[in-house]
């Protein structure tokens, strides 16, 4: 079968590789649609803990092609999406509902071959069957939405909270919809792209500002916001964001920074203003609630797919440069 293989950092090729026959408790899925994630670019650049060679791709949907031994209740031809998480289920972290910190952590497309190929094999327990009205594009969006759902679980926001969000990319736009659904009052969004801010406004932002207008955001809440979120991963933006947290406010680091990034913050503010600082890493048993949220159309992700490319276009896409105005780009495989 045809696959995108990252043979070593900086070297991605389309090549023929063996078909992944499903083993015990596994099914092989004929891949339809795969979302491209920042992590795929990190793997390409050698900035992630992946082994090489590897087939990337962890946000995907497709059709069951072959069912292995010991798989109840799944059949060839079903339309599915899958949680890429491979938690061991046996370590201390898995046993205490912290599977995203599993001592033997793995994920499809990160530590074992993923879905940027004609076929991918998946443990059956990771699958969900897509309802007829859910497109393959939406199915490939359950995984990123599951990261947003985990962030919302971490945040525990209260109805009426005033929220400031930095970053209105594909993830930021899902956060905007989530904050609105979760009962935010004021919802202020900052980004460099006017186009993305306009979209944020359509989905419930009460005020939007370009980075150049940032000081105007301060006049809205001179004492600061109840919740401040960074969805950019840019250290300078994060330093700025911290100055907007109000008394007893919460800060969420959602954007992924370079691993060696450093920022300055004033610990007196942390003490004096009773702040809570929160991180949110990937997915932690949040794939099913994300699927349910999408199924009931509480969140609209289809306008976030800016374009679909072919598998053959992937090597040059990884190489860059990439258009900064794009939201989510997906690969259409079949």
CB of 238 to Zn ion, least distance (A): 20
Candidate list 41, 88, 181, 214; residue touching Zn ion; CB under 5 A: 88
Residues 136-195 that bind Zn ion (CB under 5 A): none
State in angstroms the smallest separation of the CB of 301 from Zn ion.
Answer: 14
For residues 100 and 282, is the Cβ–Cβ distance under 8 A? yes
Q: Which two tokens stand for residue 203?
A: 């989905």
Q: Is 94 in the site for Zn ion (CB under 5 A)?
A: yes
- Supply the angle between the helices 170-181 and 194-202 in degrees, to the nearest 10: 20
Q: Which is nearer to Zn ion, 278 or 281 (CB)?
A: 281
Q: What is the token pair recorded at 77?
A: 């031809």
On whether the CB atoms of residues 311 and 4 are closer than 8 A, the answer is yes
Q: Which of 102, 142, 170, 327 binds Zn ion (CB under 5 A)?
A: 102
* 36 is a site residue for Zn ion (CB under 5 A): no
| Touching Zn ion, residues 215-274 (CB under 5 A) | none
Select the residue interacting with Zn ion from 14, 63, 91, 281 (CB under 5 A): 91
Q: Which residues of 285-309 are buried (b: 16+ CB within 10 A; e: fewer)?
A: bbbeebbebbeeeebebeebbeebe
Kind plus residue range of the DSSP H or E element containing 276:
strand 276-279
Rounded distance between C-alpha atoms, residue 63 and residue 129, angstroms: 9
Cβ closest to Zn ion, residue 88 vs residue 281: 88
Give min distance, CB of 209 to Zn ion, in A. Answer: 27
115 or 162: CB nearest Zn ion: 115
Measured CA distances, 100 to 9, 84, 85, 109, 215 (Å): 25, 11, 8, 15, 37
Give least dist CB 290 to Zn ion, A.
12
Six-digit token string for 205: 């932002």
Residue 35 CB, shortest distance to Zn ion, in Å, is 7
Comparison of 39 and 174: residue with beta carbon closer to Zn ion: 39
The 3-state DSSP class for residue 62 equals: strand
CA distance 143 to 119: 18
Which residue stretch of 31-39, 165-173, 188-196, 218-226 sits at the interface with Zn ion (rule: CB under 5 A)? Answer: 31-39
Interaction of residue 37 with Zn ion, rule CB under 5 A:
yes
Residue 281 interacts with Zn ion (CB under 5 A): yes or no: no
Number of residues that bind Zn ion (CB under 5 A): 6
- Helices 142-155 and 287-295 meet at what angle, rounded to 10? 110
Tell me whether strands 328-332 and 26-35 are parallel, antiparallel or unpaired.
antiparallel
Q: Which stretch binds Zn ion (CB under 5 A): 4-12, 84-92, 226-234, 261-269?
A: 84-92
Nearer to Zn ion, 113 or 161 (CB): 113
Q: Between 140 and 217, whose beta carbon lies closer to Zn ion? A: 140
**Which spans of this chain sit near Zn ion (rule: CB under 5 A)?**
37, 39, 88, 91, 94, 102
């Amino acid at each position: 079968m045809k696959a995108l293989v990252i043979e070593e950092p900086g070297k991605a090729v389309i090549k023929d590789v063996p078909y992944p026959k499903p083993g015990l408790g596994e099914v092989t899925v004929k891949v339809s649609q795969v979302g491209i994630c920042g992590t795929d670019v990190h793997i390409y650049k050698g900035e992630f803990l992946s082994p090489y060679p590897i087939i990337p791709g962890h946000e995907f949907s497709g059709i069951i092609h072959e069912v292995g031994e010991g798989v109840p209740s799944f059949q060839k031809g079903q339309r599915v999406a899958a949680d890429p998480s491979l938690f061991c289920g046996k370590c201390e972290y898995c046993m205490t509902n912290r599977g995203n910190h599993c001592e033997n952590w793995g994920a499809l497309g990160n530590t074992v071959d993923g879905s940027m190929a004609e076929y991918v094999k998946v443990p059956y327990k990771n699958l969900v069957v897509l309802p007829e009205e859910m497109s393959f594009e939406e199915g490939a969006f359950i995984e990123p939405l599951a990261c947003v759902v985990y962030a919302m679980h971490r945040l525990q926001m209260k109805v009426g909270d005033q929220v400031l969000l930095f970053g209105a990319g594909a993830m930021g736009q899902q956060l905007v919809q989530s904050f609105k659904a979760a009962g935010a009052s004021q919802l202020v969004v900052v980004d460099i792209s006017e186009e993305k801010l306009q979209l944020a406004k359509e989905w419930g932002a009460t005020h939007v500002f370009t980075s150049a207008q940032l000081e105007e955001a301060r006049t809205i809440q001179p004492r600061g916001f109840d919740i401040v979120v960074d969805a950019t991963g840019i250290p300078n933006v994060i330093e700025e964001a911290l100055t907007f947290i109000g008394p007893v406010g919460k800060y969420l680091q959602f954007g992924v920074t370079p691993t060696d990034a450093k920022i300055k913050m004033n610990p007196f503010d942390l003490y004096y203003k009773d702040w809570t600082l929160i991180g949110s890493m990937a997915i932690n048993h949040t794939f099913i609630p994300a699927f349910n949220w999408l199924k009931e159309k509480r969140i609209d992700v289809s306008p976030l797919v800016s374009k679909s490319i072919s598998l053959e276009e992937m090597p040059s896409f990884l190489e860059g440069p990439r258009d900064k105005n794009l939201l989510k780009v997906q690969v259409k495989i079949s």
